[in-house]
């Protein structure tokens, strides 16, 4: 029950930050943005103290650990893969252009408007 109350308070703090953004509509933009940021940070702080917040934080830490284990491609592999994808896109575009043109011609012939 306490966790649900904490999450409700966190949601209200987030909404309060957004409400402050509109309440201070005559103020400078930086003040309005800081209101939203403060509301979101306060909401995150309260949500972090709940059991689901702690579980999420542990999940985020595990995700960072797993990301560090990934073997990322080299620059050369990335450039080569991007080139292959771009070539495939061009080939498919030409193919679809030819198919579309053929179908347009076929429909014109079938409707008696062909050349």
Per-residue pLDDT of the chain (115 residues; tens, 9 = 90+): 888 899 899 999 999 999 999 999 888 999 999 999 999 999 999 988 989 889 989 999 999 999 999 999 999 999 999 999 999 999 999 999 999 999 999 999 999 886 6
Closest CA to 73 of 83, 65, 81: 81
| pTM given for the model | 0.54
Rounded Cα distance, 64 and 75, in Å: 22
57 and 13: one domain?
yes
50 and 27: one domain?
yes
Rounded Cα distance, 110 and 114, in Å: 8
Domain encompassing residue 50: 2-69
63 and 77: one domain?
no
Residue 25 has a pLDDT of 87
Residue 114 has a pLDDT of 62
46 and 91: one domain?
no
48 and 99: one domain?
no
Rounded Cα distance, 16 and 78, in Å: 44
Give the total number of structural domains in the chain. 2
- Taking the CA atoms of the chain, what radius of gyration do you get in angstroms? 28
65 and 85: one domain?
no
12 and 62: one domain?
yes
């Amino acid at each position: 029950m306490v966790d649900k109350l904490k999450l409700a308070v966190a949601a209200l703090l987030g909404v309060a930050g957004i409400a402050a953004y509109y309440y201070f509509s005559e103020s400078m933009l930086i003040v309005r943005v800081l209101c939203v940021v403060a509301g979101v940070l306060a909401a995150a702080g309260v949500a972090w103290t709940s059991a689901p917040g702690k579980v999420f934080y542990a999940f985020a830490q595990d995700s960072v650990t797993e990301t560090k284990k990934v073997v990322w491609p080299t620059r050369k592999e990335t450039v080569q893969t991007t080139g292959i994808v771009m070539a495939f896109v061009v080939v498919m575009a030409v193919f679809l252009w030819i198919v579309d043109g053929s179908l347009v011609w076929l429909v014109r012939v079938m409707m008696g408007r062909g050349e």
